[in-house]
């Protein structure tokens, strides 16, 4: 794929939008307490023709006094329960509960109170597998969830579930075959040039990312690390102070504070769209897998950064005006020494030399030289893998790219090598056998695996509070952002109706 134009079939083929769940209906609750009938006493003197005798008056008087005291006590108790149930006992109770409990849902977007137009902060926590938020207390993430909208069973990455393809799919609304970043590393089949994760030549980066779209619509954008933001194409030129070149040594706190500082600018200079990126917990996941205590600490650190952002917005009085969309790019699965497949073991059927292989694992991508039939290579590889004589061979299936399951959307680009191997969850491919056995973590597998899912949380004026929505693919986020900002987006693979299904209607 060598241009930004999309084939005519692209705009007509849309993923099915998520069903509209009426989870945020208003329910009327009767706030009035049930009426309790208190005993009433008639203290009027009767018109008896015969006065009571003195000897009978004293015991009756004592009984009346006792009954009256008891009745007053009962009335006081009911009054206390009535009023205490209608109002919080203290302001601190209200504050504490609001951080963890969803507020009553509404059917219309909440009006801005301080900012003059919508602002969106798109946050990526790399490798934040769905479920990590339950590994340790995450009060700040929980606050966003409780008072916002969450994909109940996670956000589905595009295939391959790798960092660069997914971050650029989130930014463009396009599958990798259409935006051009088909892997973290790949070759241009025409020039032979190699793409690597630091490449910023515009020829690699197709489609229109959100920062381009925002600027084209006359608004302001700022990016604090995101794959593709350093690329100069169109009106976006990665402006100084509003486009940070990736540097992993920058403390997370500094990144948050930089985004907060944008809100101290004059109102017409505040960026309308901002990105914020953290490497964790992907960094730890590759080293120790998905279940190590290091992951727990990394998740806690991310939660502290979310708390720092919330606190800074609250100090400025704009937290409820700002839209926060928190996502991850993919999940993570633990890999270990017994889950290895060696290409050299296929030698009795076919020799697959190292220089044919563009990437080994977890996406096996093979480009045989001219003179070799890709279909013959696939047939012989699968024959060996299914023979029972190749260790773990049954956990790898090799395809011509055009025969891959259509749900992967991974064939419509000549940057995708002709042969693709799909691994079962947690398995890895290596070229040669060695005595080195390693354990760690990986991603890039079939996006159908639940372990590859990440998170989606939306918090802001147009997100219903306490709402759960079904899982969806991350190509839908582009249209979500353009809808919130009320700008015209570029053609993409997302559904035009998705944002209307997920967001509250305008007031």
Residue 336 confidence (pLDDT): 85
Q: Three-state secondary structure along 145-190?
A: HHCCEEECCCEECCCCCCHHHHHHHHHHCCCHHHHCCCCCCEECCC
- Quick: pLDDT tens for 61-108: 554 555 455 555 545 544 443 443 333 333 333 333 334 444 455 679
Q: Is the pLDDT of residue 17 over 70?
A: no
Q: Which CATH superfamily is domain 119-334+449-502 in?
A: Alkaline Phosphatase, subunit A (3.40.720.10)
Cα–Cα distance between 125 and 127 in angstroms, integer? 6
Question: What pLDDT is stored for residue 10 in this prediction?
Answer: 38
pLDDT of 49 above 50: no
Please list the residues that pair with 430 across neighbouring strands.
342
- CATH value of 337-438 in 3.40.190.10, 1.10.599.10, 3.30.1050.10, 3.30.1360.180: 3.30.1360.180
| Segment 20-41 mean pLDDT | 35
Cβ–Cβ under 8 Å, residues 507 and 109: yes
pLDDT of amino acid 152: 97
Calculate the CA dihedral of residues 414, 418, 419, 425 and round it to 10 degrees. 20
Phi, psi of 304 (to 5 degrees): -65, -35
- Mean pLDDT across the chain, nearest whole number? 85
pLDDT at 9: 36
| Interval 156-173 mean pLDDT | 98
Name the residue among 279, 328, 319, 320 with its Cα closest to residue 301. Answer: 279
DSSP state of 19: P
Domain locations along the chain = 119-334+449-502, 337-438
Instruction: List, in sequence order, the alpha helices (H) in 89-244.
Output: 91-98, 139-146, 163-172, 176-179, 210-216
Pairing between β-strand 243-244 and β-strand 221-224 as defined by DSSP bridges: parallel
pLDDT for 507: 62
Question: Looking at residue 435, what is its pLDDT?
Answer: 77
Structure tokens at 336: 């270990």
Question: Which two structure tokens, joined as six digits, stand for 79?
Answer: 């009054």
Residues with catalytic function: 163
Tens of pLDDT, residue by residue over 290-330, are 999 999 999 999 999 999 999 999 999 999 999 999 999 99
Residues 276 and 226: their CA atoms lie apart, in Å, by 7
3-state secondary structure (DSSP) of residue 325: strand
Q: Decide: 60 and 68 in contact? Cβ < 8 Å.
A: no
pLDDT tens string 390-444:
999 999 999 999 999 999 999 999 999 999 999 999 999 999 988 777 789 999 9
Taking the CA atoms of 272, 273, 277 and 281 in sequence, report the sign of the dihedral they define: positive
Asked whether the bond before 281 is cis by omega within 30 degrees of 0, the reply is yes
Q: How far apart are CA 110 and CA 504, in angstroms?
A: 9
Cβ neighbours, 10 Å, residue 129: 28
Six-digit token string for 54: 């003195």
For the record, the structure tokens of 254 come out as 């500094």
Instruction: Write out the E strands in 279-401.
Output: 322-327, 333-335, 340-342, 357-359, 363-366, 396-400
Beta bridge partners of 366: 357, 419
412 Cβ neighbours under 8 A, 6+ residues apart:
1, 7, 177, 178
- Give the separation between CA 17 and CA 502, rounded to whole angstroms: 10
320, burial (CB in 10 Å: exposed 0-12, middle 13-18, buried 19+): middle
How far does the chain reach from its first CA to its final CA, in angstroms?
Answer: 42
Q: What is the pLDDT of residue 46?
A: 36
């Amino acid at each position: 794929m060598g241009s930004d134009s999309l084939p005519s079939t692209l705009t007509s083929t849309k993923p099915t939008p998520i069903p509209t769940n009426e989870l945020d209906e208003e329910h009327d609750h009767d706030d009035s307490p049930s009426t309790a009938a208190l005993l009433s006493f008639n203290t009027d003197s009767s018109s008896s023709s015969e006065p009571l005798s003195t000897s009978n008056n004293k015991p009756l008087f004592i009984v009346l006094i006792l009954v009256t005291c008891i009745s007053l006590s009962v009335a006081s108790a009911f009054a206390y329960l009535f009023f205490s149930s209608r109002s919080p006992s203290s302001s601190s109770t209200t504050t504490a509960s609001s951080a963890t409990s969803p507020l009553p849902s509404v059917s219309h977007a909440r009006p801005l109170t301080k900012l003059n137009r919508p602002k969106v902060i798109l946050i990526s926590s790399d490798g934040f597998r769905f479920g990590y938020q339950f590994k340790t207390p995450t009060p700040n993430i929980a606050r966003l969830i409780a008072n916002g909208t969450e994909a109940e069973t996670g956000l589905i990455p595009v295939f391959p579930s790798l960092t660069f393809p997914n971050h650029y799919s989130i930014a463009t609304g396009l599958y990798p075959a259409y935006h051009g970043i088909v892997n973290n590393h790949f070759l241009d089949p025409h020039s032979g040039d190699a793409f690597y994760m630091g490449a910023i030549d515009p020829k690699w980066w197709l489609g229109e990312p959100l920062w381009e779209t925002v600027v084209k619509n006359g608004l302001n954008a700022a990016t604090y690390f995101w794959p593709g933001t350093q690329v100069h194409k169109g009106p976006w030129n990665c402006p100084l102070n509003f486009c940070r070149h990736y540097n992993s040594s920058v403390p997370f706190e500094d990144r948050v504070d930089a985004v907060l500082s944008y809100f101290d600018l004059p109102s017409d200079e505040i960026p309308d769209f901002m990105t914020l990126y953290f490497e964790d917990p992907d960094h730890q996941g590759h080293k120790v897998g998905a279940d190590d205590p290091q992951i727990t600490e990394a998740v806690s650190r991310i939660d502290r950064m979310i708390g720092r952002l919330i606190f800074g917005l609250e100090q400025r009085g704009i937290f409820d005006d700002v839209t926060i969309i928190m996502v991850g790019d993919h999940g993570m699965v633990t890999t270990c020494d017994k889950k290895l497949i060696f290409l050299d073991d296929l030698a009795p059927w076919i020799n697959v030399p190292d220089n044919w292989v563009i990437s080994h694992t977890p996406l096996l991508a093979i480009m045989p030289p001219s003179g070799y039939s890709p279909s013959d290579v696939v047939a012989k590889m699968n024959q060996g893998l299914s023979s029972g004589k190749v260790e773990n061979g049954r956990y790898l299936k090799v395809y011509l790219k055009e025969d891959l399951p259509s749900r992967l959307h991974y064939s419509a680009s000549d940057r995708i090598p002709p042969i693709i191997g799909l691994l079962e969850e947690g398995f890895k491919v290596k070229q040669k056998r060695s005595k080195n056995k390693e354990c760690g973590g990986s991603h890039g597998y079939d996006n159908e695996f639940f372990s590859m899912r990440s998170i989606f949380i939306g918090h802001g004026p147009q997100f219903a509070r306490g709402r759960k929505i079904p899982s969806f693919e991350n190509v839908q986020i582009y249209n979500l952002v353009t809808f919130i900002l009320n700008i015209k987006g570029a053609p993409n693979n997302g559904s035009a109706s998705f944002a209307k299904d997920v967001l509250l209607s305008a007031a």
